[in-house]
Chain A
Amino acid sequence: SQKIEQNSEALNIQEGKTATLTCNYTNYSPAYLQWYRQDPGRGPVFLLLIRENEKEKRKERLKVTFDTTLKQSLFHITASQPADSATYLCALSDNFNKFYFGSGTKLNVKP
């Protein structure tokens, strides 16, 4: 079965720096990869989607890359702010019906 790995250790960075989160997967060939943000006590919120034929996608301070050869996605937040502190989840899908989520990485941005 598919396996999705995100760093379980929290990422601590200083305000203004670029945060980079990693999502690795095995036993799967997704057509789509998404990133969600989850705050404590809340459900995940959709941020970005990238398709298998796209290498990079940007939205404001966010950038996502998708390397189907390495089976990896990188999620970048530039000029990070304390308000960016949250848990970030990646989700994979091959047909928009089943979305498989990673366990998420907690990001702490310190002022």
Chain B
Amino acid sequence: DAGVIQSPRHEVTEMGQEVTLRCKPISGHNSLFWYRQTMMRGLELLIYFNNNVPIDDSGMPEDRFSAKMPNASFSTLKIQPSEPRDSAVYFCASRAGRTNEKLFFGSGTQLSVL
């Protein structure tokens, strides 16, 4: 099993540009989570999906952030327009079922907005 796959691993962009982060969950997992990690705030939950449906997006910082899961094997997190304060490591995680305890994380996308 390849695990959770995120791309790109690193993204450097200029303020105001659109950024799209991608995630492929583990096959067969039906829950997907997007987290953001910074030194100041630690690991924060942005949004999670069950069976491709967004369940809770209360952690999305503002309307500049949007997430989609068009099918069970792919999700995107988009920031438009990006700002320097969005710089962080963004993690995607998947889980086998609604009551399964383990989260499996990808290696993350290091985003730098200049």
Contacts and interface: CB of A to CB of B under 8 A. Distances in A.
Q: Which interface class (under 10, 10 to 19, 20 to 34, 35 or more) fits A?
A: 20 to 34
A64 to B, nearest CB: 13
Interface residues on B, range: 20 to 34
B98 A96 contact: yes
Given A34-B101, A41-B107, A97 B43 contact: no
Contacts of B44: 101
B68 to A, nearest CB: 19
Interface string A30-64: 00101010000111111001000000000000000
A100 B42 CA distance: 10
Interface in B7-64: 33, 35, 41-45, 48, 50, 55-56
A44 B56 CA distance: 21
Given A43-B108, A44-B43, A104-B42, A49 B101 contact: yes
Contact of A97 (B35, B41, B98): B98
Interface in B84-103: 91, 93, 98-103
B93 A98 contact: no
A96 B107 contact: no
A43 B45 contact: no
A25 interface: no
B105 A44 contact: yes
A109 interface: no
Interface in A52-111: 89, 91, 96-104
Interface of A: 32, 34, 36, 41-46, 49, 89, 91, 96-104
24 contacts: A32-B101, A34-B101, A36-B103, A41-B108, A43-B91, A43-B93, A43-B105, A43-B107, A43-B108, A44-B105, A46-B103, A49-B101, A89-B43, A91-B103, A96-B99, A96-B100, A96-B101, A97-B48, A97-B98, A98-B45, A100-B45, A103-B41, A103-B43, A104-B42
9 shortest interchain CB distances as A-B pairs: A43-B105, A103-B42, A101-B43, A46-B102, A49-B101, A44-B105, A43-B91, A96-B99, A43-B106
